Structure 1
Amino acid sequence: MKTNYSVLILVFLLGCTTVDYKEEVEVVSKIVLQGYIEEGDVSHVVLSTSVPIGSTVDTLSILKHLFLFAKVTVSDGTNSEVLIPQFDKNWIPPLIYTGKTIVGKSGNTYSIKVEYVGSVLKSTTTIPKSVPIRELNYVKNNPLDSTGYVFVKFDDPVNEKNHYQILTKVDGKEPVYVPAFYGNLNDDNFSSSDVNFQINRGVLLITSNQFKPYFSDGDFVFVKLRTMDKAAFDFWNDYQNEIVNGLNPIFPANTSLKSNIIGGLGIWAGYGVSVVSLQTRKQE
């Protein structure tokens, strides 16, 4: 089974003004769960601790906030499995708990339970029905340009409430799927069920390359259209707002992202999925 990853967001807290840094860490730090189960795939979960305002954030300090020995259990209501931790450099922190036997299905509900040194985190999510991508197009403002934008077309089901997220991955350039900039869509804002949306390439947080919102000639682009529930939509909207407001998107220091985790922070989300690829070419 081909596994597709999304970018992890570590959630910071602001809630303490103590002078002593050690005391602040003890008061503010909480467990953060970033996990999902997609239609046709197994569960993926990353655990970390939140980092208080004023602390140093770099590659080495991030490693101090991962969890090596947590027990992570996912259930579909009939069967349960304990996820297996493994190191993966494409995640931050680079440790991910992954399932093997329970595969996501549209309409099914999945619960998660995390047990770690006396702490217990719980949540549930349901995978919505997927909406297929109908078409992808590569469009340039000028035929002589070497860059352009990808447009995605899909049919929003009539008389249904849907929330969407668009992600992209450029083969050979990005190891993970990246949420598109302004890629969280609420169908309340659609003027028609026939959706034609320009994809603005998102920020790949784990690379030092300069951010570019467009794609280039010769790129082989994967586009993923996710359907999700309101809890996941609210979480990703908060994440998007951090970027729009010019704050640090991976470590938002002024606010906690909305969460559906009991006993901690973060998100446990089920996603319906449609994936289509496109080879960008020079216009003749």
Structure 2
Amino acid sequence: MKKYILLLFVLLLTSCIKDDFSTQKTMESKVVVEGWIEEGDFAQVLLSSSISVTDVIDSTNVLNHVIRSAKITVSDGVSTEVLMVKNDKNRLPPFIYFGSILKGESGKNYTLKIEYLNRVIQSVTTIPKSITLKSAEYLKKNSSDTTGYVFIKFDDPLNEKNYYQIATKIEGKEPVFVPSFYGNLDDLNFQTTSVSQQVNRGVLLFPKTKFTPYFSDGDVIHVKLRTQNKESLDFWNSWQNEIVNSRNPIYPSNTSLKSNIKGGIGIWSGYGQSTIIIKTTKKK
């Protein structure tokens, strides 16, 4: 499988100009974090340094900015775990820090501490209560079509404030869950507690094929409904806005991405989650 980069942070823009990489990395570049912990799963963190506006953006340069030697600690206030780093050849960058002790629980706070060179980067998040996906279907406009969209249904709890993110993963084609395009939802906008929502494929950078917002016959589609915090919603909405406005989040058009990382940039987020797998049929 060709490697992918999921949307994100190795490519975040800074205003610095690259002369010597080692100098930039320690003095001018920012530590970029994409970290998460889901209910029922362990923490995962991607870590890199930001890339200058003057740099060439390609897979080789991305690898030059990966950070593999940081100490990353996650705590729930009672137990503490130092994350390990592993090589995942299906990702670009192919290195991820992961936990194996602290499993995410709804309602708990999780602190993140990153120690790298002379820097300390910190954040805290809470895992919201998971909301169950009632159904997920693959539907086509015409029966003769070979592509379609996913439609999901779930119930938004009455008298509770919730923020959601829809993410999908196509088995054998995408190694990670990708946030759906226009899939960040605030229940303030719901007309009823019974929610029906179209799901569009999300955007990958350096994809194997040209981006399309729909799914295809024969795809095995993993559909995930995440509950998230307001900080996460704001981050992902700001990311999506850059794609819409400039079509290239590497170079933000008129604003900076939101962040809840102290001493760096990016996101540390807790998610509730519910997943359904759709097995579509390929026409003979």
- Post-superposition Cα deviations, 1:101-133, rounded to whole Å, max 9, x if no partner, equal 000001111001000111000110000001100
Q: Distance in 2 between matches of 1:99 and 1:83?
A: 5
Q: Distance in 1 between matches of 2:181 and 2:245?
A: 13
Aligned to 1:215: 215
| Unaligned stretches of 5+ residues in structure 2 | none
Report if aligned partners of 2:153, 2:197 keep a CA contact under 8 Å in 1. Answer: yes
After superposition, the Cα gap between the structure-2 partners of 1:6 and 1:223, relative to the gap in structure 1 and judged at 3 Å, is farther
Aligned to 2:52: 52
SS at match of 1:266: strand
Q: Distance in 2 between matches of 1:177 and 1:121?
A: 25
Q: Distance in 1 between matches of 2:236 and 2:258?
A: 9
Measured after TM superposition, the shift of residue 39 of structure 1 is: 0.6
Q: TM-score, normalised by structure 2?
A: 0.91
Q: Distance in 1 between matches of 2:34 and 2:192?
A: 33
Q: Distance in 2 between matches of 1:257 and 1:108?
A: 26
Equivalences for residues 163-182 of structure 1 within 5 A:
163-182=163-182
Aligned to 2:118: 118
Structure 1 residue 245 and structure 2 residue 251: aligned? no
Cα RMSD for the two superposed structures: 2.2
After superposition, the Cα gap between the structure-2 partners of 1:58 and 1:180, relative to the gap in structure 1 and judged at 3 Å, is same
- Post-superposition Cα deviations, 1:59-104, rounded to whole Å, max 9, x if no partner, equal 1111111112111000010000100011112333221111110000
Aligned to 1:9: 8
Q: Distance in 2 between matches of 1:209 and 1:136?
A: 25
SS at match of 1:102: strand
Measured after TM superposition, the shift of residue 245 of structure 1 is: 1.4
Report if aligned partners of 2:126, 2:270 keep a CA contact under 8 Å in 1. Answer: yes
Report if aligned partners of 1:88, 1:94 keep a CA contact under 8 Å in 2. Answer: yes
Q: Distance in 1 between matches of 2:92 and 2:7?
A: 6
Equivalences for residues 26-65 of structure 1 within 5 A:
28-65=28-65
- Post-superposition Cα deviations, 1:179-201, rounded to whole Å, max 9, x if no partner, equal 11111111111111110000111
Q: Distance in 1 between matches of 2:107 and 2:224?
A: 19
Q: Distance in 1 between matches of 2:79 and 2:14?
A: 38
After superposition, the Cα gap between the structure-2 partners of 1:162 and 1:6, relative to the gap in structure 1 and judged at 3 Å, is farther
- Post-superposition Cα deviations, 1:151-191, rounded to whole Å, max 9, x if no partner, equal 00000111111111101111122211111111111111111
Aligned to 1:232: 232
Aligned to 1:133: 133
Report if aligned partners of 2:7, 2:204 keep a CA contact under 8 Å in 1. Answer: no
| Unaligned stretches of 5+ residues in structure 1 | none
Report if aligned partners of 1:28, 1:52 keep a CA contact under 8 Å in 2. Answer: no
Q: Distance in 2 between matches of 1:208 and 1:170?
A: 13
Equivalences for residues 81-96 of structure 1 within 5 A:
81-96=81-96
Q: Distance in 2 between matches of 1:257 and 1:96?
A: 22
The number of aligned residues is 276
Q: Distance in 2 between matches of 1:172 and 1:12?
A: 28
SS at match of 2:68: coil
Report if aligned partners of 2:122, 2:263 keep a CA contact under 8 Å in 1. Answer: yes
After superposition, the Cα gap between the structure-2 partners of 1:204 and 1:6, relative to the gap in structure 1 and judged at 3 Å, is closer
Equivalences for residues 147-158 of structure 1 within 5 A:
147-158=147-158
After superposition, the Cα gap between the structure-2 partners of 1:8 and 1:217, relative to the gap in structure 1 and judged at 3 Å, is closer
Q: Distance in 2 between matches of 1:161 and 1:188?
A: 8
Q: Distance in 2 between matches of 1:98 and 1:6?
A: 17
Report if aligned partners of 2:127, 2:272 keep a CA contact under 8 Å in 1. Answer: yes
Q: Distance in 2 between matches of 1:8 and 1:181?
A: 11
Q: TM-score, normalised by structure 1?
A: 0.91
Q: Distance in 2 between matches of 1:93 and 1:122?
A: 22
Equivalences for residues 180-195 of structure 1 within 5 A:
180-195=180-195
Q: Distance in 2 between matches of 1:247 and 1:281?
A: 32
Structure 1 residue 262 and structure 2 residue 272: aligned? no
After superposition, the Cα gap between the structure-2 partners of 1:273 and 1:228, relative to the gap in structure 1 and judged at 3 Å, is same
